[in-house]
Structure 1
Amino acid sequence: MQAKLRAALLRPLTIVCLGLVGPCVQAHEPGAHVHGQAVLRVVVDGNALSAELESPLDNILGFEHAPGSAQEQQAVTLAVTALRKPGGILLPTPAAQCTLQKVSLASAALTPAMLGEPGTATPPSADEPGHADLDGEFSWQCAKPEFLHSLRVDLFLAFPRLHKMQVEVAGPKGQSATTLTGTHRTVQW
């Protein structure tokens, strides 16, 4: 899924990346799994806005395994509802009149059905060792892309275990990177 999204996102940026192929490819390599931190990759291409989230599942749920109790299942339900809500946690510049078109969520620790995705309802093994991530893909179409210049990231409000986010942007002015926190939640380009 990530390789497909990366390829789709990088295609329109080929011209921007000429002469910078190394840094462009390197910017899209997966990051380390660090609790409290996440990565958000944003691409602005004409009237299309796309964002790819990569976060330890612990930041979102407080655990990194298949839900084993009613309380853990409720945490999954609440998180999925927040992530899928239009205008909920990722807010493009209001004047650009962007409409959320698609949200895709994936995690090795949760079934597609738990995440509101088509797929098997068989839960993954609760005994799976290691760390699990939540990957999210979000896409918008903007009626007035000339006014699109920022994305407010309210993930910090919805998921208080998240403290820091590395954001990479490929947009009309080239590439940039910044760090967001609970008190600095807007990325601009």
Structure 2
Amino acid sequence: MNALLKSLPLLLATSTALAAPHQHGQAYLDMVLEPPTLLISISSPLANLTGFEYQPATKEEQSRWEQVKQDMQTPDLLIRLPEDADCSLSRVLLQSPFATAGAHDHGDHGDHGDHGDHGDHGDHQHADLMAEYQYVCARAEALRQLELPIMQKYPDIERLRLQFIAPDRLHRIDINAGQGHVELP
């Protein structure tokens, strides 16, 4: 197995951790390609997605939180890869901001640890949501553009900071509100 592929989880975690302080209105999309594997990580302050950053307290907040988790389990609702790349989703990992230490949402296995008591309604609380997706792409060279429905679905994301790492290229692109398409140079 190639060294880049072995280090993909670390690269994604590091790039997200180093990205910037928690900033409402901004989210991060990190992509690492080591053909045929493509890893994608989306990280955002929870407020961009739900309108709040604490454990849901009302039925309305719980409903909104459940919808966000469902959306994050369906990456085509957030980012669409070119059909020519022939990519198949092989894994989904959702890291819940409300999980107890060490607990994560995995794939389609439902909720794990979303009932921890980590937040209150105070302004000092910050919560981020991160989703990771792994694909196998039969024609990875066709990954030259992306559709980004996440920008319309979650209008509180004013800027999406895209980082794309591939064996032959490294690009950082800022995508602003209203942009639903991006070319990967």
Structure 1 length normalisation: TM-score?
0.77
CA contact (8 A) 1:169 1:175 kept: yes
Aligned residues: 172
Q: 1:7–1:86: structure 2 CA closer, same or farther, 3 Å change rule?
A: same
For 2:72 and 2:114, the matched residues in 1 are separated by 20
Structure 1: gaps of 5 or more residues: 1-5, 13-24
SS in 2 for 1:90: coil
Whole-angstrom distance in 1 between the partners of 2:41 and 2:15? 15
> 2:44 & 2:29 partners in 1: Cα distance?
9
Q: Give deviations 1:103-149, integer Å, cap 9, x for gaps.
A: 21113335646x96563353323427421111111111112223222
Distance of aligned partners of 1:99 and 1:135 in 2 relative to their CA distance in 1, 3 Å threshold: same
CA RMSD of aligned residues (A): 2.9
CA positional deviation for 1:86: 4.6
Paired position in structure 1 for 2:144: 149
Find 2:28's aligned residue among 31, 39, 44: 39
Correspondence for 1:8: 7
- Of the three residues 117, 130, 136, the one matched with 1:135 is 130
Match of 1:160 among 145, 148, 155: 155
Partner of 1:108, secondary structure, is: coil
Q: CA deviation at 1:174?
A: 1.8
The one-letter code sitting in structure 2 at the alignment partner of 1:188 is: L
Query: Structure 2: which 5+ residue stretches go unaligned?
Result: none
| Matched-pair identity in % | 23
Whole-angstrom distance in 2 between the partners of 1:106 and 1:70: 22
